[in-house]
């Protein structure tokens, strides 16, 4: 195959990332507004409950459903590059997704008491919002994987934007006084995935119908076969990666809540605000993460190693520049920015905020290297890197001797991200 006969891969990747960046960049700002409005509207304790609900929902949906999103994105791109047709990969992915949703429902209902009275402090509303939101996100993440694999990045960006827009509407209602209380703000988390799906059913139907019309092909049995065992193997390894990822992103506030007694909820909300420096860019990074996996998969299938390395290296350099700018901004204006966004509750240290910004850059670099590993089929090796780094992160969080629990979270995040980036870079260069 001649490389000159195909479009320049980096340009296609950049175009997809740019399209997504518009929708997801605005989505990040809208998500930030949701938490800012909630922080100003609710008491510290009630706001802490919202952050715990958010963390619980997105830990569960990311762990359970993003493996299927990644499975669909990589598999669809791989099959398109090979010219393979058929819908068996969609049936396998849907089977896995439905099974995971059912498993969650059974476990959540069995743990009704500990979740409602332990995690959510007796709030039945937060408990039922969590169940409704997690089940609704099963369809949302399936749609994301489908759209990403087919490179329908405009619809993908619109999906996540409408999700954030519908969620912040509930915070606005509470802020202007149309309705009051924690329950109103929390309901936005459950409504968001349902509303977002309004943009994709017609696209899903059109693609499935087109696939059915071309189902009879001359593809070899090896090309056409995609079994449940194949899907479960990939999804299982990515499941471990997602557990580790959510440990990095949400483990800090949850451990603070669990170990700090009566002031745990308020302190967890404060730690959550600090880690938004790392979390908010992840919204924008979804544009890169979503578009780079199908792009790198196609390059792997076609044997284009130079464009593969060029795409990864350009992305890593862009992340390094962005993280450096954010770290300098945190050193100069970090406390003022945090107080403006979340009010005067708590003291934000410049050094700690800069540590989180550097950790964010290392984490985003690791996430890029992870997509390269998935595209090359090194899913199990990548999972080992993630699990080892997450364990180290938790160990630092549990060490005694820190005067500030928030500073401990910041240091643990930086150290864990550094270890993860180093391990995945070692896998990449091999």
In a domain, residue 3? The reply is: no
| Position with higher pLDDT, 182 vs 415 | 415
On whether the CB atoms of residues 116 and 124 are closer than 8 A, the answer is yes
Quickly list DSSP for 362-378: HHHHHHHHHHHHHHTT-
User: Per-residue b/e over 262-291, b at no fewer than 16 CB within 10 Å?
Assistant: eebbbbbbbbbbbbbbbbbbbbbbbbbbbb
For 162, residues 6+ apart whose C-beta sits below 8 A from its C-beta are 195, 196, 198, 199
**pLDDT confidence bin for 2, thresholds 50/70/90:** very low
φ and ψ at residue 372, rounded to 5 degrees? -65, -40
pLDDT tens by residue, 348-361? 778 888 888 899 99
Least confident of 189-203, 335-349, 356-370, 388-402: 335-349
Q: Say if 319 falls within a structural domain.
A: yes
Does the residue 102 lie in any domain? Answer: yes
Residues 6+ apart with CB under 8 A from 256: 264, 267, 268, 271, 405, 406, 409
Which of 97, 59, 143, 148 minimizes the C-alpha distance to 375? 148
- Asked if pLDDT for residue 400 goes beyond 80, the answer is yes
Asked whether the predicted pLDDT for residue 119 surpasses 60, the reply is: yes
Kindly state whether residue 341 falls inside one of the protein's structural domains: yes
Q: What is the pLDDT of residue 206?
A: 60
pLDDT of residue 9: 41
> Does some domain include residue 161?
yes
Task: Please give the pLDDT value at position 38.
Answer: 86
The helix or strand, by DSSP H or E, that contains position 169, with its residue range, turns out to be helix 153-176
List % helix, strand, coil for the chain (3-state, nearest 5).
Answer: 85, 0, 15
Q: Tell me the residue range of the domain where 270 lies.
A: 8-429
Confidence of residue 40 (pLDDT cuts 50, 70, 90): confident
| Cβ atoms of 301 and 81 closer than 8 Å | yes
Tell me, yes or no, whether 187 lies in a domain. Answer: yes
Over its C-alpha atoms, the chain yields an Rg (Å, rounded) of 21
User: Per the structure block, which two tokens stand in for 323?
Assistant: 């993280």
Matching residue, tokens 């390269």: 372
DSSP 152: -
- How close are the terminal C-alpha atoms of the chain, in Å? 25
With bands split at pLDDT 50, 70 and 90, how would you rate the model's confidence at 244?
A: very high
Q: What is the pLDDT of residue 417?
A: 94
User: pLDDT digits over 13-39, tens only?
Assistant: 666 667 777 777 787 788 888 888 888
What pLDDT sits at residue 263? 60
Residue whose pair of structure tokens reads 């706001």 in the numeric block: 47
- Residue 283 inside a domain? The answer is yes
Highest-scoring range by mean pLDDT, 8-12, 67-71, 89-93, 264-268? 67-71
Overall domain count for the chain: 1
Residue 216 in this model has a pLDDT that exceeds 50 = no
Average pLDDT, the chain: 83
Task: Report how far Cα 182 is from the mean position of its chain's Cα atoms.
Answer: 24
Q: Looking at the predicted structure, is the pLDDT value of residue 127 above 80? A: yes
Lowest mean pLDDT among 2-11, 90-99, 372-381: 2-11
- Distance separating alpha carbons of residues 413 and 424, to the nearest angstrom: 16
- Of 213-217, 316-320, 396-400, 419-423, which one has max mean pLDDT? 419-423
**Between 87 and 131, where is the model more confident?**
131
Mean pLDDT (whole number) for 181-209 = 80
pLDDT tens digits, one per residue of 129-170: 999 999 999 999 999 999 888 888 888 888 888 899 999 999
Which residue in 227, 236, 228, 294 sits closest to 79, CA to CA?
294
Largest CA distance in the chain: 67
pLDDT of residue 420: 97
3-class SS of residue 24: helix
Question: Are the CB atoms for 171 and 185 separated by under 8 Å?
Answer: yes
Number of Cβ within 10 Å of residue 422's Cβ equals 16
Residue 63 predicted with pLDDT over 70: yes
Confidence at 56, pLDDT banded by 50, 70, 90 = confident
pLDDT at 398 over 70: yes
Model confidence at 108, pLDDT cuts 50, 70, 90, reads very high
In 42-87, alpha helices (H):
44-82
**Is 256 within a domain?**
yes
Q: What pLDDT was estimated at residue 269?
A: 72
Q: How many helices (H) and strands (E) does the chain have?
A: 15, 0
- Residue 387 confidence (pLDDT): 96
Residues 25, 244: Cα–Cα separation, whole Å: 25
């Amino acid at each position: 195959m001649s490389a000159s006969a195909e479009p320049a891969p980096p340009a296609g990747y950049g175009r997809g990332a740019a399209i997504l960046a518009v929708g997801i960049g605005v989505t990040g700002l809208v998500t930030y507004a949701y938490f800012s409005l909630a922080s100003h509207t609710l008491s510290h304790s009630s706001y802490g409950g919202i952050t715990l609900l958010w963390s619980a929902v997105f830990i569960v949906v990311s762990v359970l459903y993003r493996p299927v999103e990644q499975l669909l994105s990589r598999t669809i791109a791989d099959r398109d590059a090979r010219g393979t047709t058929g819908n068996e990969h969609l049936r396998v992915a849907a089977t896995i997704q439905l099974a995971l949703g059912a498993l969650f429902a059974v476990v959540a209902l069995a743990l009704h008491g500990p979740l409602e009275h332990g995690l959510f402090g007796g709030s039945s509303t937060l408990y039922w919002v969590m169940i409704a939101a997690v089940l609704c996100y099963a369809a949302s993440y399936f749609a994301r994987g489908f759209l990403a694999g087919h490179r329908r990045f405009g619809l993908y960006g619109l999906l996540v934007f409408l999700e954030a827009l519908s969620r912040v509407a509930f915070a606005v209602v509470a802020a202007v006084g149309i309705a009051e209380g924690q329950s109103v703000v929390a309901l936005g988390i459950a409504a968001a995935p349902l509303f977002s799906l309004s943009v994709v059913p017609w696209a899903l139907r059109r693609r499935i119908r087109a696939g059915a019309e071309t189902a009879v092909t001359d593809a070899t049995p090896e090309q056409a076969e995609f079994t449940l065992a194949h899907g479960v193997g990939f999804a299982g390894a990515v499941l471990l990666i997602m557990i580790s990822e959510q440990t990095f992103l949400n483990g800090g506030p949850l451990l603070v809540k669990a170990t700090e007694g009566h002031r745990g909820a308020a302190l967890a909300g404060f730690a959550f605000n600090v880690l938004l420096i790392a979390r908010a860019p992840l919204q924008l990074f979804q544009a890169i993460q979503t578009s780079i996996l199908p792009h790198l998969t196609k390059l792997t299938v076609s044997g284009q190693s130079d464009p593969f390395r060029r795409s990864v290296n350009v992305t890593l350099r862009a992340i390094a520049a962005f993280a450096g700018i954010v770290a300098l901004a945190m050193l100069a204006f970090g406390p003022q920015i945090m107080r403006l966004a979340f009010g005067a509750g708590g003291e934000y240290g410049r050094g700690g905020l800069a540590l989180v910004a550097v950790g964010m850059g290392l984490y985003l670099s690791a996430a890029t290297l992870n997509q390269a590993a998935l595209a090359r089929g090194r899913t199990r090796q990548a999972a080992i890197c993630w699990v080892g780094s997450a364990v180290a992160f938790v160990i630092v969080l549990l060490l005694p001797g820190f005067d500030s629990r928030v500073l401990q979270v910041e240091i643990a995040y930086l150290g864990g991200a550094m270890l993860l980036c180093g391990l995945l870079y070692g896998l990449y260069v091999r």
